Amino acid sequence: MILGSQDDRGVGMVEPLDEDDPVQLGPYVLLGRLGQGGMGTVFLGRRAAADEPDSDAGGPLVAVKMIRPDLAREPEFRERFLREATAARRVARFCTAEVLDVEVESRRPYLVTEYIDGRTLAAAVREDGPLPSAEVERLAVAVASALTAIHAAGLVHRDLKPGNIMLSPSGARVIDFGIARALDAATTFTHTTIGTPAFMAPEQAVGGTVAPPADIYAWGGVVLYAATGRLPHGEGPGPVVLYRAVNEQPDLTGLDPGLRQLVAQAMAKDPASRPTARDLLLRLVGASHVDEPARPEPGPAAGAAHHAGGDTVNGDTADGGRDTSDELGAGEATTADPTEPRGSATTTDPPTRAATTFVPSRPRADRAGDGLAQTAAGPAAMPADARQPTRRRLARRFVGLRGGLVGENIVAVAPFGEPLAGHTGDVLSVAFAPDGATLATTSADGAVRLWSVGDAGAVAFGAPLRGHEGRVLAAAFSPDGRVLATGGGDHTARLWRLGAMTSQIADLPDPLRRSSGNPAAGPAGTPGGHRELGVAFGHTDQVTAVAFGPAGRLLASASLDGTARLWEVDRAATGPAAVHPVGRPLTGHQGKVLAAAFSPGGELLATAGTDHTVLLWDLSSSVPRTVGRPLADRGWHARSIAFFPDGRLLAVGAGFGTVVLWDITDPARPYVRTRMTNPRYGQVHRIAVSADGHTLAVAASGVAGVGGATQLWNVEDLARPDDLGQLPAGPAGPVRALDFSPAADLLATAGDATVRLWQPG
């Protein structure tokens, strides 16, 4: 039938053309509507006879897909659309809908495929119930044959589901193949998720790279659905279904024994454990023995300390699903029920060791408010004049209210002033200065902007800082606020000496002047007199994170080149002399490095990466070395890390709505203290801990077509962390950046080209 259609009716159900529909596209006369999908409208058509161009008599019936205007306007989409459609034409025609023609140069791009008469598998099961066993076997063979041909052409279906399988008189035929990838070019501006939650593979559910094993997983779900009428992971909201896909095993009861074992292998959590399409086909027709799974997956009741599968995410190969129970500490943590409206937390008692005892994470009375939580984009220490008990603690002022769209809890907060507009690209990082009076933002537009924060909002301060070539991914203030470090897509980290903000703040209207700010403690110089102090060269890929040590003389950077680096900052110099590499690059990760953070005392550096681990580096000697075993939990990318103020806990944002708190009181023997999960918020992008250690904020992607989310947890009581809910509104796409003010009375969030400030309601 149709490429890109979301309609699951039989193709014989043709509706009349709408008033606004064209009557002809190129040489194809349109006879009626077949359906409408995510990429456009599908028409029943026929190629007009050469001698009668206005007649509907001519060649055989075809399905004509007219691309949506907003997609058609994007040159990158058109280019990829043509490339993928051309590749799709190479797919062998058995068991698929043949691609006949493609046009991308006209005002209305379109794609033409073979017309297949019949019902979709979804419609057949919905109307008549599960298929008989013999038909299920024929379906399994036909779909495996189609995937073999699709993968042989270098394509991945990406959205295999019952609605994309036609039950024609000649057998099951797969449609919609080889075109979803073109939507990758459009996701930047549509913020859509490619795929259907009920049939998504775990690696697809968390936003990872989609390769042929994802189609194999979907094949297993399709066969299960055809045989039982059940969706692989049950009914429910999209986020809950995705959570189950990642964390739970499908119920295979009802499948014939001959298929059950093969479906179990196809739906393994680890993509590397799944058979190929060719293997499926050979086993189904009896040419190959159906082997036992290489690494059996635990059932739904298995201990949560088991590694949940080494997913292939962002192009990085998994670690093979190794068991990490020893790394997670003693005891089993029970997986939360995703049907509950609020998030859940599981705690692990400290392992029994003669040499160590657990120390509660909340600050001691003599250290209340001491220090500032470290993040990959945050400062390294709090100035002395800010080290006092917080007047308004978010954990006590943010109150969870029922009734949210995704999290079902909406935090009682109020916007603090108007959204900060000025960037022309998505904001990728935000960082408060140690005095709380300045906010730095970086963006995909290549600019770094500074904002003066008053009592009723914030205003831009000075001209944007420009020096990076390409997007700027990270920012961090020095402990005294006089230097700003940024990391960019041009493979460099840059240092900026900041001018004073005293005059700028004095000139603000009274409502915007922030009484809690301390202009006198700000950087010296003339207002707006910012200048580049130096550039750190050495990375060979994008710099994803920068962080200052607590003394301000040591800078850490992380990069997609798989390394972290240390730099000595000399403020008395400028240019190349202002920043010197310290030792060799830190090369312990087996993938890209996404985050770096110093412990409050500066004795440790934590780095996190796509190899699913966090490494702790001992900086007490001249040659940094890793200490303890890598921190790994369930095979997720560790995308963001944050130290708690007392340095005894490290928060790791990883996985689907999950943050893990590691107790590193003894860095040589770390263990999981608490795991907090709410799958409704989607993939974690950034986390931050308030300076009093009471509140943890999570920036997440959102799921199932819902915008990005900012989630808050009250972590005063580690035995019972409380999901406070999410902020009442988010951008259309993921929330990529957030940071607490040093006094924990403001939270900055960003996901689109604007920044929003929030205060307790």
Taking the alpha carbons at both ends of the chain, their separation in whole angstroms is 53
Give, as one character, the DSSP assignment of residue 693: S
Beta bridge partners of 641: 652
Residues of the chain with pLDDT under 50: 1-12, 51-53, 55, 178, 180, 182-193, 287-342, 349-410, 501-527, 704-705
Residue 1 lies in a domain: no
Question: Which is catalytic among the residues 8, 159, 561, 611?
Answer: 159
Beta bridge partners of 747: 740, 758
Helix (H, G, I), strand (E, B) or coil at 688: strand
* pLDDT for residue 630: 93
Q: Which residues are annotated as a binding site for ATP?
A: 65
| Pairwise CA distance, residues 388 & 321, whole Å | 46
Count of beta carbons in the 10 Å neighbourhood of residue 221 = 26
- Domain closes at, from 284, 314, 336: 284
* pLDDT for residue 346: 59
Biggest distance spanned by C-alpha atoms of the chain = 92
Beta bridge partners of 494: 486, 535
CATH number of the domain enclosing 83: 1.10.510.10
Active site residue 337: no
Give, as one character, the DSSP assignment of residue 87: H
CATH number of the domain enclosing 373: 2.130.10.10
Q: Encode pLDDT of 429-467 as tens digits.
A: 999 999 999 999 999 999 999 999 988 889 998 889 999
Q: Which residues are annotated as a binding site?
A: 65
| Pairwise CA distance, residues 125 & 102, whole Å | 32
Q: In Å, how far from its chain's centre is CA 548?
A: 26
Number of H helices, E strands in the chain: 12, 41
Cβ–Cβ < 8 Å for 680, 708: no
260 shares a domain with 149: yes
Residue with tokens 């490339």: 83
244 shares a domain with 380: no
348 shares a domain with 242: no
273 shares a domain with 363: no
User: Where are the extended beta strands (E) located within 539-644?
Assistant: 543-548, 554-559, 564-569, 579-581, 593-598, 604-609, 613-618, 625-626, 631-632, 638-643
273 shares a domain with 361: no
Overall size of the chain counted in residues: 761
351 shares a domain with 238: no
| Pairwise CA distance, residues 347 & 147, whole Å | 43
148 shares a domain with 59: yes
Residue 3 lies in a domain: no
370 shares a domain with 279: no
Residue 497 lies in a domain: yes
- Domain closes at, from 215, 249, 284: 284
Domain range for 252 is 24-284
* pLDDT for residue 331: 26
| Pairwise CA distance, residues 554 & 397, whole Å | 36
263 shares a domain with 363: no
Shortest CA distance to 745 belongs to which of 458, 437, 441, 390? 390
* pLDDT for residue 384: 34
Residue 544 lies in a domain: yes
Q: Which residues contact 360 (CB under 8 A, 6 or more apart)?
A: 718
Per the structure, the count of domains in the chain is 2
pTM over 0.85: no
219 shares a domain with 151: yes
724 shares a domain with 653: yes
β 755-760/747-750 pair status: antiparallel
372 shares a domain with 235: no
- Domain closes at, from 261, 284, 307: 284
Cβ–Cβ < 8 Å for 242, 266: no
- What angle do the packed helices 212-228 and 121-128 form, to 10 degrees? 20
